[in-house]
Amino acid sequence: ELKVEQNPLFLSMQEGKNYTIYCNYSTTSDRLYWYRQDPGKSLESLFVLLSNGAVKQEGRLMASLDTKARLSTLHITAAVHDLSATYFCAVDMDSSASKIIFGSGTRLSIRP
């Protein structure tokens, strides 16, 4: 059974600082997705990573995928308050679109 683990689960950081969220998964996969969720809202797609070494950037967020280490990172650069949200990674185990499995989420709070 595929397990997806994120850490940290909670992160409180100051504006202007950098930090990284980690997503580990237990079986081989070369498809990983990052989502953002605001309280009471839906899951907004941030990044789709489809191969080993994939790196994507959007604004202050950058995501990468290392399929050999079964690890993805979401790096936040010079955080701003608007980035406060819960971030989820999700893994497609067999690239057949049968399902994606989510990590537990990282609740990010950015304070002035």
Partner 1 sequence: EPEVTQTPSHQVTQMGQEVILRCVPISNHLYFYWYRQILGQKVEFLVSFYNNEISEKSEIFDDQFSVERPDGSNFTLKIRSTKLEDSAMYFCASTGETGRRGYTFGSGTRLTVV
Give the interface with partner 1 as residue ranges (CB under 8 A): 31, 33, 35, 41-43, 45, 48, 50, 88, 90, 92, 95-105
CB 50 within 8 A of CB 56: no
Q: In angstroms, what is the minimal distance from the CB of 44 to partner 1?
A: 8
Compute the distance between CA of residue 103 and CA of residue 51 in angstroms, rounded to an integer.
19
Tell me whether residue 71 or residue 105 sits nearer to partner 1 (CB atom).
105
Q: In angstroms, what is the minimal distance from the CB of 31 to partner 1?
A: 6
CB 35 within 8 A of CB 44: yes
Lookup: tokens for 29: 């996969």
Q: In angstroms, what is the minimal distance from the CB of 88 to partner 1?
A: 6
